[in-house]
Structure 1
Amino acid sequence: MADNNSLTTTTTSTSALPLAPGAWTLDPLHSAVNFTIRHLGIAKVRGRFAKVEADLQVGETLDGVQVSATIALASIDTGNADRDAHTRSADLLDVERRPTMTFRSTGVSGADEDWSMEGELTIGDVTRPVTLDVEFGGVVDVPADGSRHAGFEATGEIRRSDFGLDFGGGMLGDVVKLQLDMQFVEPREPQDQAG
């Protein structure tokens, strides 16, 4: 895909959804893209990407569902400013050359709360297949403003070397574990325009 600035997830089942059709928007205050990587083989470094954009388009069935998202690699945050600056540099992630990480699904299977999403992850100009385990947390009404939220958790792992990110030698592990916690807000009823 020529446009690496958007991620599209297309589901493949015809089951009915417990989500209202329409354009759901990301709740950024209650969403996160986290990762874990081994350091020196004896401990874990945990971090997150602070800048994520996503939209959830819901159709009448799963066939009509699409998720688009972009993760800015420069927004990495491991809790150490010096380490983050070095990670952004040409020595490591080289965010000038690899500004984003995107995902495009190729299929979804499962039921109830547990799903599996097959897809392609793109970092810079390299695309590789990846599988994410997705847990649907449900839908809830928020009393404060009357909005309705749906929650999802997706987990998976990638190998840095598959994307040409094999820096660090024996200091950093090759496997990166991903955890995405996402909340989307249901579209408002179109009745506001009817009156």
Structure 2
Amino acid sequence: MTHASHRTTTPGTGPSASAAAPALPLKAGSWAFDPLHSAVGFTIRHLGISKVRGRFNDLQAELVVGDTLETSSITATIGLASIDTGNADRDAHVRAADLLDVEKRPTMTFRSTRITGAGEDWTMDGDLTIGDVTRPVAFAVEFGGVVDVPVDGSRHAGFEATGEFRRSAFGLDFAPGLLGDVIKVSLEVQFVEPR
């Protein structure tokens, strides 16, 4: 997710051109999120000399595939209290009111506004909301493909989305100098094709 100050529209992707817009290489419909094969991780600089890595264990997502990219969308919501950096004391401190304040900011939600690309490489622009602050961001998305699962015959699609944003843009400006401003995010998600 790179922080963006503006959005651009490429020719052929505006509302009036939706009939000519390309389609995602997926069956149209609402794809079910597969939480057992999905994860979201992050990294942030500590003291400017190393990185702290962690994950959020509460992730929900929805993928709606339309007839074109213009009518396709994805929404992902992360429960911020589910932060897990491998250290329970540190996680409790980060959740507290003087840092992340999960009582005030229980979730982080991304809603796509535009999807572009082809083949394996896609870009997903959208709005990221943390607490009461919303900013435009973008993800680079790698499409892993679609496969049949032999156990139950279901078809799964896999994606990896990566990007970054500045926490200060969302009012998360605690511990300057101790923690870096840029948070890098990586999501591995699977969805199940509608029957």
Give your verdict on TM over 0.5.
yes
Cα distance in 1 for partners of 2:66, 2:93 equals 43
Deviation at 1:105, TM superposition (A): 2.1
2:124 equivalent in structure 1? 117
1:173 equivalent in structure 2? 180
* Structure 2 unaligned spans of 5+: 1-12
Cα distance in 1 for partners of 2:165, 2:30 equals 30
Cα distance in 2 for partners of 1:61, 1:110 equals 12
SS in 1 for 2:26: coil
1:49 equivalent in structure 2? 56
2:93 equivalent in structure 1? 86
Structure 1 counterpart of 2:84, from 66, 70, 77: 77
1:3 equivalent in structure 2? none
- TM-score, normalised to structure 1, is 0.86
1:145 equivalent in structure 2? 152
Cα distance in 1 for partners of 2:136, 2:187 equals 17
Q: How does 1:2-17 map to 2 (within 5 A)?
A: 12=13, 14-17=21-24
1:5 equivalent in structure 2? none
SS in 2 for 1:63: helix
- 12-21 vs 88-97, which deviates more? 12-21
1:95 equivalent in structure 2? 102
Structure 1 counterpart of 2:28, from 18, 21, 40: 21
* Structure 1 unaligned spans of 5+: 1-11, 189-195
Give the number of aligned pairs: 177
Cα distance in 2 for partners of 1:39, 1:104 equals 29
Deviation at 1:17, TM superposition (A): 2.8
1:185 equivalent in structure 2? 192
Cα pair distance change 1:17/1:105, threshold 3 Å: closer
- TM-score, normalised to structure 2, is 0.86
SS in 1 for 2:94: helix
Deviations along 1:42-71, one digit per CA (max 9) or x if unpaired, are 111111111111121112222221222211
Amino acid at match of 2:51: K
Amino acid at match of 1:120: D
Identity level (%): 73
Structure 2 counterpart of 1:65, from 68, 72, 76: 72
Deviations along 1:84-142, one digit per CA (max 9) or x if unpaired, are 10000001100000011011222222111111122221100111111111111110111
1:135 equivalent in structure 2? 142
Report runs of 4+ in structure 1 exceeding 6 Å deviation. none
Amino acid at match of 2:147: V
Amino acid at match of 1:186: E
Deviations along 1:6-45, one digit per CA (max 9) or x if unpaired, are xxxxxx5721332112211111011111100011111111
